[in-house]
Chains A and B, each alone.
Chain A
Amino acid sequence: MKGERLFQILGLVDPELIEEAVSVPAAPRRRTPWRAIAAAAACLVLVVGAGLGGRLLLAGGGSGSMAAGSDGAAAGGEAEESVTGDGITGGGGAATAFMSYAGPVFPLTTAEADTGLTAERTVTWDFAMGAYEDGSPRQWGAQVTDDYVLTNPTDSDITVTALYPFAGTLAGLGTIGTTVTVDGAETPYALHAGPYAGGFRDAGVDDGSTWNLSPPDSFDDYADLLESGAYLAQALGDSPSLDTPVTVYRFSDFAAPHDEYRAATQAVTLSIDPEETTILTYGFNGFSRDDDNAWQRYDYFVPDGVQAESDLKLLVVLGEDIGDYTLQGYADGGCDEPIDGVSCTVTREETTLDAVLSELCRAELANQRQTSQWPGLADLSLSLYQRAVTEAVLSSGALADTPADRYIDGRLDDFLWDVLVQERVLYLSFPVTVPAGGSVTVSASLWKAPSYDFGCSGSENVGLQGYDLATALGSNLVFTSQTAALTNAENIEIVRQNLGFDPANGVTEVILDPAEPHYYLEIRPLEG
C-alpha cells in the first residue's frame, strides 16, 4: 500500500518542520469581550435615554468625551449619534480589541519643547477603492492625509525641527509610502526609527518564556510607549556602539559531493567555557550543545549554488577565543552519518562586533533586495538598519541583561530578520520655518493599514477594519482645533466609531475634542 509507505517516509522529514508544526500558537482570541460590553452599555443607556424624552445617548465609558450633544460632536449640527451596521456607534472606550493592531495615526510634534507655535489639524481618511492583484476591486487600508496649519503669533520667525511619527516596520516602509509637503512643495526628510515597540511572550504555554514576539496590540500600548518622551529621545539620539572586540572564523571555498548527497552538511565541533566565551553565528543552519561539558556543534548545509543558502558563514567569538575545533562532513543536517569529501577554508580575524554587524547588514540588505517581497527595502539606509540590529542585540540578545529565549542560540540571522518585521514608531524629520505673524501648511501623507481580526478566527469582527487616531499623544504642539474627515465614504459602512461621522446624512467632517486622546473608526468595506 503506497499510502502506507508515504506515511513511513513522512516520518523521516526534517525534525525542524515536525517541531514547527506543533509549536505554532493558535491565532490569539480577542482578549476583551468589548462588543458584549458595548452592547450592554448601549442597552442600558437606551433605557435611560427613553426617560429623557427619547433622545438617544450612548455611554461614553473610559476616557471618551464624544457623547452626542457634547461640544465636540459632529460638525454640521445635525448629527446626533448615528446607529449603523449592527447598531453600535459612539461611546469612547468601546473600540474593538483587534487581533492585529496597526497603531494609531499620531500627531505632528517638534524636537523643541516650547515652540511658540499654534496648530490647526485636519486628518482625512481616504477610502478610495484599491485592487487585488488580479485587478478586481478591493477596499483595504486607507490613504491618510494629516494636514497642519502652523501659526506663529510672535514678531520673529520661528524655525523648528518638525517630527511626524507613524507606526510601522522597516520592511513595510515601501508600502506605507510617506510624503511630506510644506506649503504645497514636497520636502525631503530624514527618517529616524525607534526601537522595537513590543516585547516577547511564551510560545503558547504559559511558562514565562520569551520565545515569540509580542507586538503592541492596543492604543494604550502606544500611549505607554510615547508618553514620557524617552522613546522619541532614543530614536533621535546617537546610535549605540558595539566596539566589543571579537574573533571571527570565516568559512568559504565550500566543496561537497552534492551529486551523492543533496543535503551535505559541514559541522564544526568545539568546546568552550560558557562563562568566558559566547559564540554568535551567521549562515549556520543547526546547533547542538551539551551544557555539562560545554560541547557545542554548529552546522550548515554546504552551499551548492542551487539552494538559497548564504555563502557567508561566520562564527563570531566574544570573550575568550575558542581552542581547537573539528570539521566533519555529514550526509544531512541530522549529523548522524559522517561522509568524506566535504571541505572548506577557515580564516580567523580579529575585529569588532560593529564591523561584523555592518558586513552582515550590508549582505542581508543586498540579499533581501534581490529576493524580497518588500520593495521599500531598496530605500532603507544601511545605518538605520544596522542601528536597529545593534539595539536589538543589546536589548534582547547575548549582550542584554536578560536575553530573550528567542535568541539564546546566538543566531545573528534572527536579529537581521526580526528587526525588519518588528513594529516600531518611525519619525520623519524636516525643518520648518514659520514667519513672524504668519502661517505655514505642513502635510504628511501615508497609507495606513487597518487593524483587523484574522480571517480564519471565526470572530464576529472578521472583515472589519479599524483605524485609530491620537490627538495629542507625544506632541509638543498647542492645538487650537482638530478636525477629522472622510473621502470616498461611499465605499464603506461605518460599524463602530466615537467620531460622529454620518455619511448617509452628509456628515463626513467632524470637529474633534483635543482633550479626547483616542478616537476610533471601524468600517466594513462595501464591495461589488
Chain B
Amino acid sequence: MEDARILDLYWARDQRAIDETGLKYGPFLSRTAGNILRDRSDAEECVNDTYLSAWNAIPPARPSAFRAWLGRVVRNLSLDRWKRDRAEKRGAGLEVLLGELEDCVPAPRGTERALEDREIADLISAFLRRLTKENRVIFLRRYWYGQTVVEIASDLNCGAGKVKSSLFRTRNALRNYLEQEGIAL
C-alpha cells in the first residue's frame, strides 16, 4: 500500500493503519532496532512502541518521508531502551558504535557555537552530501542504521577493510568539518 494511503488510515483512526505499517515496514524497523540493541525481544518491543508512537503522532503529523520518519522513531526508542538496559547492566551492542562516534566530536576550544540538534543535523546533512555516494552510504548504514562492518561489506559486495577505511576517513573528515564550523557537542 502506498504511504499516502497508510497515512490516510491513521488520519481516519482506522486500526488497519498499524497492520499496513507492519506489513510494509515491520522488517525494516525490526532490523534497525536489532542492529542497535542486538537483542530480538528488546527490538520487537521497540518496534511495537514505534507503532504506538505513530498512532499517537498521526494526526496531526503527516510525514512526507514515512519510512525515514518511522526509522527515526524506532532509532530513538532503541537508544532509550539501550540506555535503560545499560543501567541494568545488560546489552553492549551500541557501546562500540558510540565509541566510534566519539572520534567525530571535536576537542573543545571554548569558542564553539551551541546549536540546536536540528541545526547541527542540517550541517551534517550538508557535509554528507559532499562525500562520495559510496562513503555516504557506508557512513549512514553504520551510524544511522547501526549495521556492522561485515553486514555493510556483504550488502555492498565489497571487503570489510574497505568499509573500515571509509568509516575511518569519514569520521576524521566529520570531526574536521565540525571543528571548522565551530560546533560544540
Chain A positions near chain B (C-beta within 8 angstroms): 1-22, 24, 26-27, 29, 262-263, 286, 288-292, 332, 334-335, 454, 456-458
Indicate if the CB atoms of B157 and A21 lie closer than 8 Å: no
Q: Please tell me if B71 contacts chain A, counting CB pairs below 8 Å.
A: yes
Q: How far is the CA of A10 from the CA of B97 in the complex (A)?
A: 13
B79 lies within 8 A of A8 (CB) = yes
In the bound complex, do residue B104 and residue A6 qualify as a contact, i.e. CB atoms below 8 Å apart? Answer: yes
A13→B123 CA distance, assembly (Å): 9
Greatest chain B CB density within 10 A among A13, A15, A263 is at A13
> With A and B bound together, what is the CA distance between A314 and B142 in angstroms?
38
Of all chain B residues, the one with the shortest Cβ separation from A4 is B98
The total of chain B residues at the interface (CB under 8 A) is: 51
* A22 pairs with B145, CB closer than 8 A: yes
Residue contact B76 to A22, C-beta cutoff 8 Å: no
Whose C-beta in chain B lies nearest to the C-beta of A28?
B157
Number of inter-chain CB pairs below 8 Å = 133
The 4 closest A-B pairs by CB, nearest first: A456-B158, A15-B68, A12-B121, A15-B65
CA A456 – CA B65 in complex, angstroms? Answer: 31
Which residues of B line the A interface, CB within 8 A?
A: 2, 4-5, 8, 28, 64-65, 67-69, 71-72, 75-76, 79, 83, 94, 97-102, 104-105, 117-125, 128-129, 133, 136-137, 140-141, 143-145, 155-159, 162, 185
Contact between A19 and B67 (Cβ–Cβ < 8 Å)?
yes
A334: nearest residue on chain B (CB-CB)? Answer: B64
**Mostly helix, strand, loop or mixed at chain B's interface?**
helix
A-B contact pairs, 21 of them (CB 8 A): A3-B105, A7-B98, A9-B120, A11-B72, A12-B72, A15-B64, A15-B68, A17-B140, A21-B140, A21-B141, A27-B157, A27-B158, A288-B64, A292-B4, A292-B5, A332-B122, A454-B157, A456-B156, A456-B157, A456-B162, A458-B157
Q: A2-B105, A10-B121 are in contact. List 5 more A-B contacts (CB 8 A).
A: A4-B101, A8-B79, A14-B128, A21-B141, A291-B2
How many whole Å from A315's CB to the nearest CB in chain B?
18
Q: Residue on A with the closest CB to B166?
A: A456
Nearest-CB residue, chain A, relative to B155? A26
| A15-B69, A17-B140, A456-B158 given; A7·B97 CB < 8 A | yes
Closest-by-CB residue of B relative to A457 is: B157
B-side contacts of A6, CB under 8 Å: 101, 104-105, 185
Chain B: which residue is nearest A290 at the CB level?
A: B4
If A3-B100, A6-B101, A13-B128 touch, whether A21 touches B144 (CB-CB below 8 Å) is yes
**In the complex, chain B residues whose CB is within 8 Å of the CB of A262:** 119, 122-123
Q: How far is the CA of A286 from the CA of B145 in the complex (A)?
A: 23
Bound form: Cα–Cα A7–B141 in Å: 12
